């Protein structure tokens, strides 16, 4: 894997991790299956296969400078991802979002670091360039609610007002609204960063579960507008009258299964119900976040990557909905 073949250099060969024979390589052919990639020795030798430490153990403080990853070339570019409640909020492979951000930075020679922000950890202004929070069961949400208010609230509010890109998925998304009424038990107050509220209709109500396809209103010019993923939530979220949805539902439930909104966007902060994990199958969104992490003004242009595998995954999910997508698009005309 490397940046756009036309502009790639062999520099990444020199930076192959010590844990792998520098000669180990993978082809950039788009027909690579995961098995093929993992049995790299069977493939033509063009680029080093970066040893994916994160696949074997959860990233703690992880830097691409020699802690098991690809020691990136010295660059002036750096992305530090604040991963909030990594051990508590991680449903449906949400951790894969951080792995996708790491790999897409590494492949571009951008230094990458995960700053774990668990219970008791304060968010120090200027310490992270991007924040990520995953999904959780009602019980996990209740468990961290106190810390969210007492320890993290000011830091999260500061990140959003400073334009630091933030991605909050499902359970964390709900807690950044005004409140979440869970399936049972007391109301969970939210930080009010997002103008929305969420109510779970109770344990007997059907959950919003399944693959989801949405149309991303803020997609960069020239990028596809679809996003695909998986959702599983009981809570139904309703946006404030002035709030901007992150996307429009083309197939699936979205915020509440009725108004066809999905998520919310506030500046560079996104709340969404889309698990999956979201970013590996939506490389254009991953790059949108990385570009903003490098420069919140949104002027950074990233080198294109060979995303043929990622788009194959994206289109596989789209393909499951193609007929209904055409119907739902026509019905909105
Ligand atoms: N517990 C919340 C709900 O059921 C969030 C679930 C999640 O994060 N997947 O709506």
Neighbours of 258 (CB within 10 A): 11
What mean pLDDT do residues 258-286 have? 97
| Cα 273 to ligand 1 centroid, rounded to whole Å | 9
CA distances, 254 to each of 103, 214, 268, 273 (Å): 28, 8, 20, 7
Pocket lining: 136 vs ligand 1, CB cutoff 6 Å: yes
Pocket lining: 91 vs ligand 1, CB cutoff 6 Å: yes
Three-state SS for 171-225 is: HHHHHCCCEEECCCCCCEECCCCCCEEEECCCCCCCCEEEEEEEEECCCCCCCCC
3-state SS assignment for residue 243:
coil
* Position 322 pLDDT exceeds 70: yes
* Position 141 pLDDT exceeds 50: yes
Q: How far apart are the first and last CA of the chain?
A: 41
Q: What are the pLDDT digits (tens) for 116-130?
A: 999 999 999 999 999
Confidence of residue 72 (pLDDT cuts 50, 70, 90): very low
Tell me the whole-structure pTM to 2 decimals: 0.78
- The minimum-distance atom of ligand 1 relative to the CA of 141 is 1
Pocket lining: 234 vs ligand 1, CB cutoff 6 Å: yes
Tokens of 94: 């949400």
- Active-site annotation holds for 105: no
For ligand 1, atom 5, which residue shows the shortest CA distance?
171
Which of 14, 38, 18 minimizes the C-alpha distance to 26? 38
Which of 65-74, 94-103, 193-202, 224-233 shows the lowest per-residue confidence on average (mean pLDDT)?
Answer: 65-74
Q: What are phi and psi of 38, to 5 degrees?
A: -75, -25
| Cα 100 to ligand 1 centroid, rounded to whole Å | 22
The residues facing 197 across adjacent strands are 238
Share in percent of the chain as helix, strand, coil (round to 5)? 30, 25, 45
What mean pLDDT do residues 94-99 have? 96
What mean pLDDT do residues 288-301 have? 95
Contacts of 241 by beta carbon, 8 Å cutoff, 6+ apart:
none
Say how many residues make up the chain: 333
Tell me which of 59 and 160 has the higher pLDDT: 160
Pocket lining: 135 vs ligand 1, CB cutoff 6 Å: yes
- Active-site annotation holds for 284: no
What mean pLDDT do residues 169-179 have? 98
Asked if 129 contacts 136 with a C-beta cutoff of 8 angstroms, the reply is: no
* Position 148 pLDDT exceeds 80: yes
* Position 226 pLDDT exceeds 90: yes
For ligand 1, atom 2, which residue shows the shortest CA distance?
171
Mutate to test the pocket of ligand 1, among 97, 212, 232 (most ligand atoms within 8 A of CB): 232
Confidence of residue 160 (pLDDT cuts 50, 70, 90): very high
Pocket lining: 171 vs ligand 1, CB cutoff 6 Å: yes
Pocket lining: 233 vs ligand 1, CB cutoff 6 Å: yes
Confidence of residue 4 (pLDDT cuts 50, 70, 90): very low
DSSP alpha helix (H) spans, the chain:
11-14, 34-38, 53-56, 95-106, 138-147, 153-161, 171-175, 283-294, 308-331
Q: Of these residues, 170, 208, 233, 314, which one is catalytic?
A: 170
* Position 327 pLDDT exceeds 90: no
Q: How far apart are CA 200 and CA 138, in angstroms?
A: 10
Per DSSP, the residues of 30-62 read TT--HHHHHTGGGS--SEE----HHHHS--SSE
Q: Of these residues, 197, 200, 275, 314, which one is catalytic?
A: 275
Q: How far is CA 30 from the centre of its chain?
A: 23
Question: What is the model's pLDDT at position 92?
Answer: 85
Q: How far apart are CA 149 and CA 145, in angstroms?
A: 6
* Position 90 pLDDT exceeds 70: yes
- The minimum-distance atom of ligand 1 relative to the CA of 89 is 8
Pocket lining: 236 vs ligand 1, CB cutoff 6 Å: no
Pocket lining: 68 vs ligand 1, CB cutoff 6 Å: no
Q: What are phi and psi of 329, to 5 degrees?
A: -65, -45
């Amino acid at each position: 894997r490397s940046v756009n073949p036309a502009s790639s250099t062999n520099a990444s060969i020199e930076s192959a991790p010590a844990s792998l024979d520098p000669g180990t390589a993978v082809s950039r052919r788009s027909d690579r299956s995961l098995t093929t990639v993992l049995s790299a020795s069977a493939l033509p030798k063009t680029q080093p296969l970066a040893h994916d430490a994160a696949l074997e153990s959860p990233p703690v403080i992880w830097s691409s400078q020699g802690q098991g990853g690809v020691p990136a070339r010295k660059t002036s570019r750096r992305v530090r991802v604040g991963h909030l409640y990594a051990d508590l909020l991680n449903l449906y492979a949400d951790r894969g979002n951080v792995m996708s951000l790491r790999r897409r930075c590494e492949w571009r020679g951008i230094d990458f670091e995960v700053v774990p922000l668990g219970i008791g950890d304060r968010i120090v202004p200027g310490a992270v360039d991007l924040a990520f929070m995953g999904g959780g069961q009602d019980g996990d949400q209740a468990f961290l609610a106190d810390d969210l208010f007492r320890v993290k609230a000011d830091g999260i509010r500061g990140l959003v007002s400073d334009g630091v890109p933030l991605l909050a998925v499902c359970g964390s998304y709900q807690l950044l609204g005004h409140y979440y009424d869970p399936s049972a038990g007391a109301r969970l107050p939210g930080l009010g960063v997002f103008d929305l509220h969420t109510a779970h209709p109770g344990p007997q109500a059907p959950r919003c579960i399944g693959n989801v396809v949405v149309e991303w209103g803020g997609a960069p010019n020239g990028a596809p507008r679809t996003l695909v993923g998986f959702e599983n939530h009981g809570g139904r979220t309703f946006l404030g009258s002035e709030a901007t949805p992150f996307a429009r539902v083309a197939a699936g439930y979205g915020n509440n299964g009725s108004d066809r909104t999905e998520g919310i966007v506030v500046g560079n902060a996104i709340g969404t119900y889309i698990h999956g994990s979201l970013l590996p199958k939506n490389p254009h969104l991953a790059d949108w976040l990385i570009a903003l992490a490098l420069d919140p003004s949104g002027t950074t242009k990233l080198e294109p990557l060979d995303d043929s595998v990622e788009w194959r995954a994206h289109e596989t999910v789209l393909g499951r909905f193609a007929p209904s997508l055409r119907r739902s698009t026509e019905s909105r005309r």
